[in-house]
A and B are shown apart, each in its own frame.
Chain A
Amino acid sequence: MRAILKRELRSYFLSPIGYVCVGAILFLFGLFYFTVMQTGSSYYIASVFATMFNWNMIIIPIITMRTFSEDRKNKTDQALITAPVSVTGIVWGKFLAALGVFFIAMTIGLLPAIVVGSFGDPSWGLVFGNYLGSLLYGAAMVSIGVFLSSLTESQVVAAIATFGVSVFLMVINSVTAGAGEFVVQLVSWISFSSRYMPFTQGIFSVSSVIFYVSVVVIFNFITARRLESRRWS
């Protein structure tokens, strides 16, 4: 797993993809921090992360699109699968590398908050709540993106599918407005955005953490099964 993690992370930054994604996230961070600064209140720093949430939906599919589809297209998956490593190890290696890129971008995005914090007194609970929430949301989306990438040889298809899923999970609770209470509850239970909400209020929601971590474990598990099932096709 470590060999794959190392290689994948390297390869993100050997090709422009890693730099473009990190750069795009940091550019947007800069833009929103600037807007926040104009309000003159460090309280709103946390809202930067909430705004970033929408943009991450676009950038995460770009990070994950190549994970398995590229390997399959270049037939390098033959080297991975015929090596004495478990399929689960391969999946987690790829997952952690993709998450690593996102993690790097989000963590650097924290720097302006720290700089601002040295001049004022932002609500750190809110800032770190948002930061943690973004990472958890990111991890869940990355695992879904990696799974979708394992279904296709085309990176474009993988990216669009992942984007579609993240939009779906985002808007799912606004389309249930007219439906019965049970449906509304069920939907808000699986909605990524309602799971994210507690963090934006600085609440460390254990159930949300467990929810996101479960999504990661489940999707990585399905991806591993998917790779194994390909052997039988």
Chain B
Amino acid sequence: MIEVKNLTKRYGTNVALDHVSFSVEEGSIVGFLGPNGAGKSTTMNIITGYLSAGEGEVTVAGHSILEEPAEVKKLIGYLPEIPPLYMDMTVREYLDFMYQLKKVTLPKEKHIREICALVKITEVYDRLVGNLSKGYKQRVGIAQALLGNPPVLILDEPTVGLDPKQIIEIRNLIKNLGKNHTVILSSHILSEVQAVCQRVLVINRGRIVADGTPDKLGHDLSTDHRLIIRVEGPEREILAGLKNVNNVTEVHSLGEKEPGVYEYAVEGPDGKDIRRDLFAFCSRNGAPLLAMRSTELTLEEVFLRLTNEEYAHPLRKKKRHEAKGGETA
């Protein structure tokens, strides 16, 4: 549905986007994740035709944004970072205006009413946009994007400024919309992306540093297949015993966590499950195994790793290496 190829955008000498490429299939919800200034909004502005890219191209449903801008713009409903609202109009007047501006042909009164009910702004329908609270303004912005029922929705931080209840409502709304729309949303709230998106693109400093489902990202990036176990019993004996367990390559103690209970980090070879071996060892020695968890990263840790320069370099190298391997294979 959306094809982005080699987008590069420079502001003066500052490179905002550096050869960004990705594609989004029809009917999926994709989340853009990244710290402030990473290039999320720039990418969205280029897809919607507000900005032009220095290099690269964007096609939506086969139409190029440069060659057929009107066609592409008709297909996209866009909620920019700051909702484009006219403060001197009422919600009714504003939606009427946007309806005409977008040349929507659906039955006007009914269509606008439906959208208002969907984003729950019916009760402020006749109030001035300028007098609404931030949450309502945000929802009027979403309503505006939905006008004309465009097949592609691009939402730049759609839940900013909403209270927790509204956030859940809007997330559910986006999930529902995702069933018959293609949605791209940006966020720096990780739980949001995790809750709503089927796929996450992590952007940092104008590059895509990761791409995958939220779970896959967590799994892929925990490079070490390390387990943390908690065992009751004398530290030295158990440490020595653990070293002799089958397949265990490395063990070290993390110290006493409860009276008489020590925590150990145990590492096995790549792709080998050592949990059963550890359990067998503990039960054989009568040392109660009290806890076992993997160090698989949560999305939050993934994000920090990807966007933190210190971590990012080796990981990026690894990613690129993998990508290259994938291409040749």
When the two chains form their complex, are residues B88 and A11 in contact, meaning their CB atoms are under 8 A apart?
Answer: yes
A119 located at the interface, meaning its Cβ lies under 8 Å from any Cβ of chain B in the complex: no
Q: Is the CB of B101 within 8 A of A79?
A: yes
Total number of A residues with any Cβ neighbor in B under 8 Å = 25
User: By the criterion CB–CB under 8 Å, are A81 and B49 in contact?
Assistant: yes
| Residues in B neighbouring A79, C-beta threshold 8 A | 80, 84, 98, 101, 144
Q: When chains A and B are docked, how far (Å) is the Cα of A77 from the Cα of B83?
A: 11
Residues of B close to A77: CB separation below 8 A: 84
Given known A-B contacts A2-B100, A82-B50, A7 and B84 have beta carbons under 8 A apart: no
- A-B pairs with beta carbons under 8 A, tally: 73
Asked if residues A4 and B101 are in contact (CB atoms below 8 Å), the reply is yes
Tally B residues with Cβ within 8 Å of A: 30
Per-position 1/0 for A75-119, Cβ under 8 A of B: 111111111111000000000000000000000000000000000
> Residue-by-residue, is B88-123 near A (CB-CB < 8 Å gives 1, otherwise 0)?
110001000110111100000000000000000000
- B132 shortest CB reach to chain A, Å: 15
Q: Which of B11, B48, B87 contacts A82 (CB 8 A)?
A: B48
Q: Does A232 contact B (CB under 8 A)?
A: yes
B22 contacts A by Cβ under 8 Å: no
Contact A75 B80, CB 8 Å, known A2-B100, A7-B86, A81-B49: yes
Chain B window 76-88, contacts with chain A (Cβ cutoff 8 Å), 1 for yes, 0 for no: 1010101011111
A-chain residues with CB within 8 Å of residue B78 when the two chains form the complex: 78, 82
Q: Which residues of B contact A83 (CB under 8 A)?
A: 73, 98, 101-102
- Given A7-B89, A74-B86, A78-B80: 5 more A-B contacts, CB < 8 Å: A6-B100, A10-B89, A11-B89, A77-B84, A85-B101
A-B contact pairs, 13 of them (CB 8 A): A3-B97, A10-B89, A74-B86, A77-B84, A78-B50, A78-B80, A78-B82, A79-B101, A81-B49, A82-B50, A82-B76, A84-B70, A231-B49
| Chain B contact residues, CB within 8 Å of chain A | 11, 45, 48-52, 69-71, 73-74, 76, 78, 80, 82, 84-89, 93, 97-98, 100-103, 144
Partner-B contacts on A (CB < 8 A): 2-4, 6-7, 10-11, 14-15, 74-86, 231-233
